[in-house]
Structure formats: C-alpha cells, structure tokens
Amino acid sequence: MPVVIAANRAWATGMAASSIRTGLETVLEAAPHSDAVVLTLCDQPLVTAELLDGLVHEWRRTGRSIVASDYGEGYGVPALFARSWFAELASLTGDIGAKAILRTHAAQMALVPFPGGAIDVDSRADYARLTGR
C-alpha cells in the first residue's frame, strides 16, 4: 500500500491543534473523497491490523458514524470517524484529543473489543512492565 508521511511541524501546540489536524489534512489531500479516518496513537503497542480491520468492519456493519475501541473499563482510540465528524475533529484545539468527541457522542458510537487498549508505553518502566522484565 502507498504510504504518505505527514510531518507535524506544530507538535508543540498540542495533540488536537496539530496532530489530529495534520493527519486529517494529509488524508484529505492524498484521498479527498475519504469516507472515514481511523485515529490511533503510536504508544499503544498491542494495536493489530485485525483490530483496525474490525473497526472498519463494524462501521460498515452498523452504519454508526463513530466506532471506538472498547478497553473493557473504558473506550478510546483507535477509533474510526466517518466524514461527518471531519469538521469537528479539525476544530479541536490545544491538547484535547478525539476522546472529547467520543465522550460527547457516545450514543452514536459502536464499540469493538480491544482489551489491551489501556496499555500504552510512555516510559522505560512501561516497556519493562509490558515485556515482563
């Protein structure tokens, strides 16, 4: 598959104001007729291709405009947002991520099980816990 790299030169302005907006703009530039985007984080090591496929499958099956990952005791990204959410994603400011949209519009959301979703690796200690060292 072709890969497009988006350079977020404004990373210091916060997750929403830069990362989400940069990613969304890059997707729309590369594929202007995209029907949906999947947002994910780079610090969730247990994300798999099967999970991402599951988000798309659930979106197509249910017709829900948001499909998020169900961690068991919460939900979050990776999450799929239909085109109808692009403007709201682009309007996020500061360091507020897509979780704000998920919380506000939970009634419009479908969930896909991802028990490892709450595991993220932000430090060497997190990595050691993940690998059992």
CATH number for the domain that contains residue 78:
3.90.550.10
What pLDDT is recorded for position 8? 85
Q: Considering the domain boundaries, does residue 4 fall inside one?
A: no
- Domain assignment present for residue 6? The answer is no
Average pLDDT over residues 12-26: 82
Q: How far apart are the first and last CA of the chain?
A: 35
Report if residue 43 sits inside a domain.
yes
Rounded-to-integer distance, Cα 128 and Cα 133, Å: 5
Domain membership flag for residue 79: yes
Could you tell me the residue range of the domain that residue 96 belongs to? 11-131
Residue 1 placed within a domain:
no
Number of domains forming the structure of the chain: 1
* Contacts within 8 Å (CB) and 24+ apart, 107-111: 108/64, 108/65, 108/66, 109/64, 109/66, 109/67, 109/68, 109/75, 110/58, 110/59, 110/62, 110/64, 110/66, 110/67, 110/68, 111/58, 111/67, 111/68, 111/69, 111/70, 111/75
Whole-model pTM: value is 0.89
Lowest mean pLDDT among 17-21, 33-37, 41-45, 108-112: 17-21
**Is residue 60 in some structural domain?**
yes
Residue 2 maps to a domain: no
Whether 91 is covered by a domain: the verdict is yes
User: What are the helix (H) ranges across the chain?
Assistant: 21-30, 49-62, 86-91, 99-104, 124-131
At 41-95, the pLDDT tens digits run 888 999 999 999 999 999 999 999 999 999 998 999 999 999 999 999 998 887 7
- Provide the pLDDT for residue 132: 82
- Residue 117: name the closest of 55, 49, 47 by CA: 47
